[in-house]
């Protein structure tokens, strides 16, 4: 049964006039969505939302939507300065360059800005928010984190009465697709990455995704909103998934876990004041945890509030439809004059917290070593664990032939202990000619 469309907005309400910079998959998706749901959007926004001008690199490219009805600007900065535009939608991408110039021009010229650009917000969000506040115009970026999932709105509004204790989740669909496909098929990392690229789930240059940078951008944004802190991407500790092997996936499964790339942030009180911990790393997650069942190119964010308890936001983390939906939701808020501070509270009131040092934090850890098949290697590793004060819960040694070089895999799970102890034990093994490559260190996510 189709949804009834409410009565259209009163004719006297002036439309919200927007310009779109960038007409890739998402830009074309925004135009398509605004065309398809025009009456519904006007009714919910209280007035029409109309595209009046666009800009992109190639004017003649077929994007599946009619752009001839809109004014064209070759220069995106000129687009942002048009007198007939109320809000600029920036969908170019990149932390600097044309995207940043366009955004500065829009906000500095008294126009609202909606963007899906997480890199730009992670690097320049405070500057842009301050500019928006000084110009008394809106800056919104729901689409910058987790695609169509309304997680920014959920944190900024839904949990606004809560003191959040932790924000964490699966923030990169490419990594989640690779890890869950490895889990399902038994294939190794390189093979699944190539397939993800063929299917369009991974970029031709996937470094930002598989090395954890994209998830780091998103985590920095969520932490700033969730904890009322100044955004600090430089303070995010980042480890990607490139070291994870099919054998690790299989071993995790045998132990009752799955492996997922997790971004997590929290604030801790120390004798020197509050400290912000932000990190992205692959983790073992117990089967039965809400995040363990999140597979494919899906995102999920967990927020824990002191009164709300645990909240889970889950859905499509990318794609033209979900991302366009998030962009349109921001535009509807602006049309309703529902604006607010970009990071929940004014920039001047955001706390500037130093990064937390997590060495004292307690956790269980999965450690995997690829080693030469010779006597004494296992004794060398266990001696380093002993001297580092790491207690071993279980130890697994596989025979030769784990890979084409004939290396042996040694894996272990530690008892709960300080993170610094594991680091100290691994430092004792640095330079050992028994080890073939760096050990893989995967914390076991608690809860």
Instruction: Write the CB contacts of 29 (distance below 8 Å, at least 6 apart in sequence).
Output: 320, 321, 323, 324
Distance, CA of 282 to CA of 265 (rounded, Å): 14
H-run or E-run covering 302: strand 298-305
Q: Residue 191 burial (CB < 10 Å; 0-12/13-18/19+)?
A: middle
Q: 436 and 353 in contact (C-beta within 8 Å)?
A: no
Please work out, in degrees rounded to the nearest 5, the angle formed at the alpha carbon of residue 437 by the alpha carbons of 434 and 438.
Answer: 105
For 81, 137, 217, 436, the CA distances from 26, given in Å and listed in that order, are 22, 24, 19, 44
Return d(Cα 47, Cα 24) in angstroms, integer.
Answer: 26
DSSP helix/strand/coil, 70: coil
Taking residue 30's Cβ as centre, other Cβ atoms within 10 Å add up to 29
Q: How far apart are CA 319 and CA 28, in angstroms?
A: 11
Residues contacting residue 275 through CB under 8 Å, at least 6 positions apart: 267, 268, 269, 353, 354, 355, 356, 357
Contact status, residue 128 vs residue 224, Cβ threshold 8 Å = no
CA atoms within 13 A on the CB side of 320: 16
Residue from 118, 140, 218, 287 carrying the catalytic annotation: 218
Please answer whether residues 91 and 55 qualify as being in contact, where contact means their C-beta atoms are separated by less than 8 angstroms. Answer: no
What is d(CA 48, CA 8) in angstroms, rounded to the nearest whole number? 9
Which residue(s) pair with 392 in the sheet?
414
CA distance linking residue 262 with residue 203, whole number of Å = 20
Assess whether 166 carries a catalytic annotation.
Answer: no
Q: 442: part of which helix (H) or strand (E)?
A: strand 440-443
Nearest to 361 by CA among 279, 257, 433, 249: 279
Distance of CA 350 to the CA centre of its chain: 21
Which residues are known to be catalytic?
218
């Amino acid at each position: 049964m189709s949804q009834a469309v409410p009565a259209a907005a009163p004719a006297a309400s002036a439309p919200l006039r927007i310009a779109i910079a960038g007409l890739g998959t998402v830009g074309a998706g925004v135009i398509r969505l605004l065309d398809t749901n025009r009456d519904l959007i006007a009714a919910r926004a209280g007035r029409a939302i109309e595209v009046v001008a666009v800009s992109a690199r190639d004017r003649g490219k077929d994007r599946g939507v009619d752009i001839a009805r809109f004014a064209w600007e070759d220069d995106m900065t000129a687009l942002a300065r048009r007198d007939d535009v109320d809000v600029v939608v920036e969908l170019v991408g990149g932390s600097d360059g044309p995207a940043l110039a366009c955004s500065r021009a829009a906000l500095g010229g008294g126009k609202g800005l909606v963007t899906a650009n997480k890199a730009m917000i992670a690097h320049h969000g405070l500057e842009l928010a301050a500019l928006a506040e000084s110009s008394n115009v809106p800056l919104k970026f729901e689409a910058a984190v987790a695609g169509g999932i309304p997680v920014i709105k959920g944190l900024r509004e839904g949990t606004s009465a809560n003191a959040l204790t932790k924000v964490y989740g699966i923030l990169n669909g490419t990594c989640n697709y690779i890890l869950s496909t490895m889990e399902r098929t038994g294939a190794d990392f390189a093979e699944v990455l190539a397939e993800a690229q063929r299917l369009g789930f991974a970029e031709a240059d996937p470094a930002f995704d598989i090395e954890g940078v994209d998830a780091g951008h998103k985590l920095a944004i969520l932490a700033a909103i969730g904890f009322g802190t100044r955004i600090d991407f430089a303070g995010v500790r980042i480890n990607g998934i490139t070291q994870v092997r099919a054998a690790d996936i299989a071993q995790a499964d045998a132990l009752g876990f799955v492996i997922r790339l997790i971004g997590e942030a929290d604030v801790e009180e120390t004798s020197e004041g509050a400290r912000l911990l932000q990190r992205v790393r692959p983790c073992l997650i117990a089967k039965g945890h809400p995040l363990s069942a999140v597979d494919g190119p899906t995102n999920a964010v967990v927020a824990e509030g002191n009164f709300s308890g645990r909240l889970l936001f889950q859905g499509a983390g990318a794609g033209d439809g979900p991302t366009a939906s998030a962009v349109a939701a921001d535009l509807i808020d602006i049309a309703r004059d529902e604006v607010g501070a970009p990071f929940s509270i004014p920039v001047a009131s955001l706390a500037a917290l130093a990064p937390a040092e997590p060495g004292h934090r307690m956790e269980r850890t999965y450690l995997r070593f690829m080693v030469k098949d010779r006597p004494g290697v296992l004794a060398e590793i266990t001696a380093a664990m002993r001297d580092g004060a790491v207690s071993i819960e279980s130890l697994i040694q596989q025979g030769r032939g784990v890979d084409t070089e004939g290396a042996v895999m040694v894996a272990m799970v530690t008892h709960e202990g300080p993170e610094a102890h594991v680091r100290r034990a691994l430092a004792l093994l640095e330079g050992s000619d028994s080890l073939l490559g760096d050990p893989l260190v995967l914390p076991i996510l608690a809860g």
